[in-house]
A and B are shown apart, each in its own frame.
Chain A
Amino acid sequence: KAGVTQTPRYLIKTRGQQVTLSCSPISGHRSVSWYQQTPGQGLQFLFEYFSETQRNKGNFPGRFSGRQFSNSRSEMNVSTLELGDSALYLCASTIGGGSPSYEQYFGPGTRLTVT
């Protein structure tokens, strides 16, 4: 079974621009979560989508948004990029449905550099 895929893998943007990252979950998984990983901060939860609806949201400004399509693929968008947005953005998928017993499967991440 194919794993979680994320595109692009690397991205360089300048301040003020916007960016869209894509995540394709494992086939059959309906929940997609996004995390920001930075050195020293670990992984910080951005948001989670399940059946095209945002189900949970972390403490990030409104510049960070996302959506999920009917095929469970998800995109996240960051508008008006700031230098501090430079990070590895990870996507994780799980079967979903609300049970906490489901393991999250992570993708390789998108490395975003803002200059």
Chain B
Amino acid sequence: AQSVSQHNHHVILSEAASLELGCNYSYGGTVNLFWYVQYPGQHLQLLLKYFSGDPLVKGIKGFEAEFIKSKFSFNLRKPSVQWSDTAEYFCAVNVGYSSASKIIFGSGTRLSIRP
């Protein structure tokens, strides 16, 4: 069965540190990949997505992610985090082309930034 793994459950960083959150999925076919963010008290919102083309994807608020097909990975990065990046981050995968709706989410990574 398809699955998404986020190995870091809670990451604590100081402001200006660099960030990398891991995401691995298990599916051998075509995938569409997403990172969502949930700020405290707010809705889930899309950070970035990959469907095809350049495997390095840039999203909002300075985030980027790189799709490495051979490693089944889609890690999220930011060169310098801010206190306002404190949130929970979810990696998600939509497998195949049947529908936009059945997306498999990882269990999430809580990011805490020390001011």
| Chain A interface residues (CB < 8 Å from chain B) | 3-4, 31, 33, 35, 40-45, 48, 50, 55-56, 58, 90, 92, 94, 96-104, 106-109
Note all chain B residues with C-beta closer than 8 A to A99: 97, 100
Chain B nearest CB from A13 CB (Å) reads 23
* Complex: A40 Cα to B6 Cα, angstroms: 11
Indicate if B90 sits at the interface (CB-CB under 8 A).
Answer: yes
CB interface residues, B 58-102, toward A, < 8 Å: 90, 92, 94, 96-102
Chain A nearest CB from B110 CB (Å) reads 10
| B106 pairs with A55, CB closer than 8 A | no
User: Total A-B pairs in contact (CB under 8 Å)?
Assistant: 77
CB interface residues, B 20-79, toward A, < 8 Å: 32, 36, 43-46, 49, 51
Choose one: B49, B102, B108; the contact of A103 (CB below 8 Å): B49
| B100 pairs with A100, CB closer than 8 A | yes
Note all chain B residues with C-beta closer than 8 A to A4: 43
| B51 pairs with A100, CB closer than 8 A | yes
Known contacts A31-B101, A94-B100; is-contact A100 B94 (Cβ 8 Å): yes
Indicate if B112 sits at the interface (CB-CB under 8 A).
Answer: no
